[in-house]
Amino acid sequence: MQLLLDSENETARVAASLAELLGAGDLIGLEGDLGAGKTSFARAAIYGLGVDPNEAITSPTFALIHHYEGRLPIVHADFYRLMSESELEELGVEEMLCGGYVMFVEWGRKFADFASRVTLWAELSSVSEQARGLRLRATGPRGEAILAGLRQLLRLEEA
């Protein structure tokens, strides 16, 4: 599914709609150049999962992982600075994946084993200062179900 999002509000609306469909164990891979809007997209989805809108949701680039509590436990991670898959073990990523978390991971493609477990890829690109391109790609039946539900929520025709 490819969308052109004209504003930050439109990006937030799509991310919040996606959040309505997410369940325990769903893993969303966020891709795009620096400044493409990965953290903004994750922030809107995390709020959509029921995190208090007054809670600050910031980029996990330096902390690597941020935890949140909404209707499900949530992790927002950034693997940009990681160098090996063994570092994922040290961070407890496997435990989180098996522990019912919804995970949003920036730069997850760096590690093939991890990337193979992604439910849905959200690839963002800058079109203008405000507009973003969003390509959502499912990687299995669960991802396809999420995309089908998102099409209904957004009232999109099957493409």
Q: What is the mean pLDDT of residues 121-145?
A: 92
pLDDT reading at 35 higher than 80: no
SS3 108: helix
pLDDT of residue 17: 95
Overall number of domains in the chain? 1
159: in domain: no
* pTM, rounded to two decimals: 0.91
22: in domain: yes
Buried b (16+ CB within 10 A) or exposed e, 61-81: eeebbbebebebbbbbbbbee
Contacts of 131 (CB under 8 A, 6+ apart): 4, 5, 6, 7
Distance between start and end Cα atoms, the chain? 7
95: in domain: yes
Q: In terms of residue numbers, what domain contains 149?
A: 2-154
pLDDT digit string, tens, across residues 100-117: 999 999 988 888 888 888
Return the CATH number at 34. Answer: 3.40.50.300
pLDDT digit string, tens, across residues 78-101: 998 888 888 988 888 888 888 899
71: in domain: yes
SS3 116: coil
65: in domain: yes
Rg (the chain; Cα; Å):
15
120: in domain: yes
Q: What is the mean pLDDT of the chain?
A: 90
Q: How far apart, in whole angstroms, are the C-alpha atoms of residue 102 and residue 153?
A: 20
pLDDT of residue 128: 84
